[in-house]
Amino acid sequence: DVTSGEFHVTIQAPPERVWPWIADLSKHAQWSPKPYSVEWISGEPNAVGSRYRSVGSVPGDKHHVNEGEILESVPNERFRLRADDKEGAYENSFVLSRQGEATEVTHRLEFLKTRGMASVLVAILFPLIGKPDIRKRMALLKSTIESAA
């Protein structure tokens, strides 16, 4: 059973101004409501095929480590990554679409596979905690970019 969510925000800035905030993982900490850090393991930072290790906060683990890979990067259009941790694997994608002078950002999170208790907990905690957290992140992305104008 795959659990996923899709989140939308319209940012009053063209895709060229939004893209750097999406496609540079080091900037993600600036629009995260919780502590987040990333370090590169291999490859050129943010390039397709590059691998990274990130540390963030999830329910029950304030120092949650995962390792991931950049799967797709189409400037000003699409950015996709996959991450693995001890509970399973998931994929994040961001699609940017121009709406006049604004940009609609669609963020999709998909749990590809989960192991052990995570299989049960994801189905319970993702709707209750995960989805509201991602909505906060999207609102922070919007305010961060719009205030940087």
Mean pLDDT of the chain: 87
Map tokens 């970019």 to a residue: 145
The predicted-structure confidence for 127-146, as pLDDT tens digits, reads as follows 666 777 888 888 999 999 99
DSSP symbols for 1-48: --EEEEEEEEESS-HHHHHHHHH-GGGGGGG-SS--EEEEEESSTTST
Q: Who contacts 50 (Cβ-Cβ below 8 Å, separation ≥6)?
A: 40, 42, 43, 44, 69, 70
Q: State the DSSP code for 130.
A: I
Q: What is the four-CA torsion angle of 51, 53, 56, 62, rounded to 10 degrees?
A: 150
Q: Are 67 and 55 in contact (CB under 8 A)?
A: no
Question: Considering the entire predicted model, what is its pTM?
Answer: 0.85
pLDDT > 70: what percent of the chain? 85
The predicted-structure confidence for 40-68, as pLDDT tens digits, reads as follows 999 999 999 999 999 887 767 788 889 99
4 vs 81, which has greater pLDDT?
Answer: 81
Residue type, 124: I
pLDDT above 70 (res 115): no
